[in-house]
């Protein structure tokens, strides 16, 4: 009789353990479903952001191409003016560099 009580107790404990595991598995499945939904939502947001960024980059590239074409036409139509402006800019840059170099260093006396 004691053996049947032990067997019945062990069987009940095994059933309780199985039921607890089923509950844990069900809870884990619910958690995985929540995580999958969250990932899906984030993926949709990221795809929308990517498409938006790609469209903006495309528009910016078209605008840059248009501006580069305009500059090229201007240079081709006025080569003398552009080269003069470049020379003047270079001379002003050198002069500005000399002025900054002179003002930043204290005067050195070697005598």
- pLDDT score recorded for residue 100: 87
Copy the structure tokens of residue 86: 């470049």
Per-residue pLDDT tens over the stretch 30-78: 999 999 999 988 988 888 888 989 999 999 999 999 999 998 888 788 8
Query: pTM to 2 decimals?
Result: 0.43
Q: Where are the alpha helices (DSSP H) in the chain?
A: 2-77, 79-104
Residues with Cβ within 8 Å of 82's Cβ and at least 6 positions away in sequence, in order, are 74, 75
- Asked if residue 3 has pLDDT above 60, the reply is no
């Amino acid at each position: 009789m004691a053996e049947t009580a032990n067997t019945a107790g062990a069987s009940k404990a095994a059933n309780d353990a199985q039921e607890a595991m089923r509950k844990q598995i069900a809870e884990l499945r619910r958690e995985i479903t929540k995580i999958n939904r969250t990932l899906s939502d984030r993926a949709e947001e990221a795809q929308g952001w990517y498409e938006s960024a790609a469209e903006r980059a495309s528009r910016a590239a078209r605008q840059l191409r248009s501006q580069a074409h305009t500059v090229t036409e201007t240079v081709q139509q006025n080569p003398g003016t552009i080269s003069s402006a470049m020379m003047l800019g270079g001379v002003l840059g050198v002069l500005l560099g000399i002025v900054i170099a002179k003002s930043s260093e204290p005067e050195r006396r070697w005598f």
